[in-house]
Structure formats: structure tokens, C-alpha cells
Amino acid sequence: MDKNAIKKFAVWARTELIARVSLKGVEYGITEDNIEDANADSVGGKVLTADEKKQRQALIAEINDKGYKQVMEEVAYTWFNRFSALRFMEVNGYLPSHVRVFTDEENNFKPQIITEAIHLDLDGLDMEKVYELKDAEKTEELYKYLLIVQCNALNKILPRMFQKLSDYTELLLPDNLLRDGSMIQQMIELIPEDDWKDAVQIIGWLYQYYNSEKKDDVFAALKKNVKITKENIPAATQLFTPDWIVRYMVENSLGRLWLEGHPNDELKSQWKYYLEEAEQEPEVQAQLAEIRKEYAALTPDQLKVIDPCSGSGHILAYMFDVLMKIYESYGYTTREAVASIVENNLYGLDIDDRAAQLAYFAVMMKARQYDRRFFSRGIQPHVYAIAESNHVDKFAVDYFCNGDMKLTAAMETIISELHDAKEYGSILTVTPQDWSTLYDRFAEIKEDIHISREAALRELLPLVQTAETLAQKYDTVVTNPPYMG
């Protein structure tokens, strides 16, 4: 893998994307120093559609809340993540449409999605619009439209990587994506196609290098006594853990736990970094023998494992591989093993929304690698961005609890314990709750038409998922903890 090429591309792509996204902002009357009226019907002589107006208002509200620079940085990064994910899926043949988004079959920068536009079978594709843009030879506009529809279609199988793009992210999708030297063209030219075959490595290194300049800025500011803010903790602490370290840690924790209860020389021989137990005193040996009796009673589906600061998912993906070997040695079919690992075994958390998105993607791609029909099974992994309760909608909480004292007490505790959770991360201690009652209530409101339903699902469900993941006990915890110095 050519890490120099990956670094060169990722560092350049960040600057390029932030500039291009900001340029789109200018088009809609939004700059760092000035924002035209949020309720304007037209900007710079351009009449806004109803959708554009709504998206623009949402963008302005977000800028007022987080600041201009932070929002432009986030949008640029969202597109970087999506382009990387699409590139990985097209190279590996994982796109359900089987139509390449950035290249043709020979890996030339001639997007197959444009040549195949009239034969595409994508959810939400308006064929009339496709014909209209094709007839008018508006290739660039057609490409942007197809990109957005493709991302939205992937929302069904990868909802946490490809959120619906009806928000301001769509508004700020950069122009001139098909030009020579565009971010997409550079991604194809600079990074060899083979480097996209290993999701964990390519996504992990891209993520680390993309953030490297921001990390340098944060530490340069620290030397001038500028405190690291909550928003900058991820950039300051992200570090991609090399492969051999990940294997060493997972094989000697999860692998050891399993082998001590279920000795298996063939399994052991597959783990290159597994170390034999050191000689122990007789009384320690007696204690270990007792512990191993407990391990012997475990079945594969009972193993709960977590990486509580999972970054882009390197450790989670290798835990997946080790669990697959354990399941196979126990007689499970590949399909059964994959579904059980995603549903029962594997958990991941990170304070950084983008990193958690990538870790989620890495686990989904790992599952697809083992089971080619996995996307159609409707299973989602327990890999989450830690949610904090600082700005919870009070009306959504009242609606969710619906006067039920048990639900009210549970939600009050969760909200109080997850205040500033993005600063503390996984070191928080969370009180166990009756999780099934909470999830039953979410299932109930999914069918409802109440005005607060959306806010309850958007804001409260991630809090409950975070709280449950933090409150559970695990058989194995493997992580490379963040450190800021």
C-alpha cells in the first residue's frame, strides 16, 4: 500500500474540499463575514427552489449554532467520507446497482453511472430529469444529480454512512467534479486501485492523514496556551493503529479467552501473534483453572466484545475476523456466524461522529466480505458515535415518556449522565436501565404521526444506544486509548 500517495491525496483533498464547499456557500449568499437574509426567496439574482430555501435555512441555523468554519469543515469531511466509501464499494463490486460511480470497468475516469444513466435502477431516480439533463447536454449537473440519488439509495443499507441528503450537505456538494484535477480525478489517479481492496487499511490511513494538518494546528495552538476544545479532541487524539499491534492485542485477549475455555491447536496456529501463557505459581494456576471453567461454558454468541474508542474501526474489523474463526470452529455456517457477530458480539464507540461512521462502514464491509447477501438481511451493527444530552428537546422527551414514571426516571438519568459525553467519552459510568422497555417505546413511536416524533427518534434514540453500550459488561475490551499529552 502506497501510504505516501494516500497522505498526499488526503492532505490536499481536505484543503480542496473546504475551499469548494465554501465556494458553494458564496453562491447561496453565505460567507464567513456575511450571511444574507435566511428567509430570502432569491440570492444573487438566482431564484431558490422550495428545497434550496429549506436547506439554506438549515445551513444558516447550523452556522449560527456551531460557527462558519466548523460547519464548512464538517460538510467537506462528510463528502470526503462518502466519496471514499463509494470508491471502496465500486472497486470491490459491493454497489447493489453494480454500476461504477467514478470510473469505467478499466478504471478510467469516465463514470459508468453517466453512460448507464438511462438504464439505472436506483430508488428515487427521476427518469424524466435524467432525459432532460442528457438532452440538454448538462453532463456535470446530471452527474451531481446521479451522485446524490446514489447516496440516498445507499441509505437503505448503510443508513449511518449515507444519511438522506435532503439537508444542506446536498446544497454544498462541490461543482466541477468531472473536470481535470478535481478531487475525484485525483483520488483515482493518485491511489492505485488495488489499495482500495482492504477497507480497514485504506479508510484508516485516509482518515488519519485527512486530519493530520488539523492535528498540527491544534497542537501549535496549544503551545500558545489555546486550550483544546471539545470539537478538537478527535483531531488531537486520532491515531491509526498499525496492523500487527491490532492482531497482537486481539489474539491475546479475545483469542486467549476463547482458547482457554475451548483448547484448539488448529485455531491457535492461525494466530501469528498469539503468546503462550507464562509459568504461574500453583495458587495462581488454581485461580486460573476456576476462571477457565467459566470460559468453557461460553458459546460464541455469548461473547461480548468492545472497542470503546474505536476510531475508524481497525480493531473492530480484526475482532470480526477472529470471531469468524471461533464460530467456524464451533460448527456455524458462514451466514449464521456473520449475522450473529453483528447482532450479538461486536460493539464500538467513538466521540468523533465521522470516525464512528467509518468504523460502522468497516464492520458493514467486513460482513459483506463474508456474506455476499448481507446487505439484504436488514441487520445493523452496534457501532455508535457517543451522543451527548446537552441540547435535548424537552418537548421530545415529554412526548417520548408520555407520562410514564418509569420511562421518565430512565430518561432523566440518561440525560443527566450523558451531559458533555463528547468530552468524557467512554470513561463515563452509566446506570443500567430497563433497555427493552425503552426500545419498545421507540418501536411504538415509529408508527406515530406526532409533531415531536422525528426529534425523539433523532435525539433520544442515539442517547439510549450510547447509554446501553456504556452500561453493559463485556468479556473482552480492546482499544488503543486516545492520548493528548
Q: Given this model, what pLDDT does residue 277 score?
A: 85
Strand-strand pairing, 42-43 and 46-47: antiparallel
Mean pLDDT of the chain, nearest integer: 91
Q: Please enumerate in sequence order all residues whose Cβ is within 8 A of that of 358, keeping only pairs 6 or more positions apart, or say none.
A: 81, 203, 204, 207, 311, 312, 313
Average confidence (pLDDT) over 156-177 = 86
Q: Given this model, what pLDDT does residue 29 score?
A: 92
Provide the grid cell at 377.
438481511
**Per-residue pLDDT at 386 exceeds 90:** yes
Picking from 150-154, 226-230, 254-258, which range would have the lowest pLDDT averaged per residue? 226-230
Q: Given this model, what pLDDT does residue 165 score?
A: 54
Amino acid identity for residue 312 in this structure: S
Q: Count other C-beta atoms under 10 Å from residue 110's C-beta.
A: 14
Provide the grid cell at 238.
486520532
pLDDT in tens, 242-271: 889 999 999 999 999 999 999 999 999 999
pLDDT-based confidence at residue 239 (cuts at 50, 70, 90): confident
Picking from 102-106, 351-355, 469-473, which range would have the lowest pLDDT averaged per residue? 351-355
pLDDT-based confidence at residue 3 (cuts at 50, 70, 90): confident
The pTM is what? Answer: 0.91
Average confidence (pLDDT) over 180-207 = 89
Q: Given this model, what pLDDT does residue 233 score?
A: 76
Q: Given this model, what pLDDT does residue 83 score?
A: 94
Average confidence (pLDDT) over 170-197 = 92
pLDDT-based confidence at residue 485 (cuts at 50, 70, 90): low
- Residue identified by cell 463514470 is 111
Picking from 106-110, 212-216, 305-309, 351-355, which range would have the lowest pLDDT averaged per residue? 212-216
Distance CA 273, CA 229 (A): 38
Amino acid identity for residue 109 in this structure: F
pLDDT-based confidence at residue 475 (cuts at 50, 70, 90): very high
Q: Given this model, what pLDDT does residue 166 score?
A: 52
Q: Please enumerate in sequence order all residues whose Cβ is within 8 A of that of 256, keeping only pairs 6 or more positions apart, or say none.
A: 274, 277
pLDDT in tens, 405-464: 999 999 999 999 999 999 999 999 999 999 999 999 999 998 888 888 889 999 999 999
Inter-residue contact 305 to 318 (CB < 8 Å): no
**Per-residue pLDDT at 236 exceeds 80:** no
Inter-residue contact 320 to 346 (CB < 8 Å): yes
Burial 142-172 (b: 16+ CB within 10 A, else e): bbbbbbbbbbbbbbebbebbbbebebbbbbb
pLDDT in tens, 298-326: 999 999 999 999 988 999 999 999 999 99
Q: What count of Cα atoms within 13 Å lies in the side-chain half-sphere of residue 265? A: 0
Residue 424, classified by CB atoms within 10 Å of its CB into exposed (0-12), middle (13-18) or buried (19+), is middle
Cα separations in angstroms, 446 against 33, 219, 408, 453:
41, 44, 19, 7
Distance CA 216, CA 275 (A): 37
Of 223 and 436, the one with more pLDDT: 436
pLDDT in tens, 269-289: 999 999 988 888 999 999 988
Cα separations in angstroms, 429 against 152, 413, 461, 466:
37, 12, 19, 11
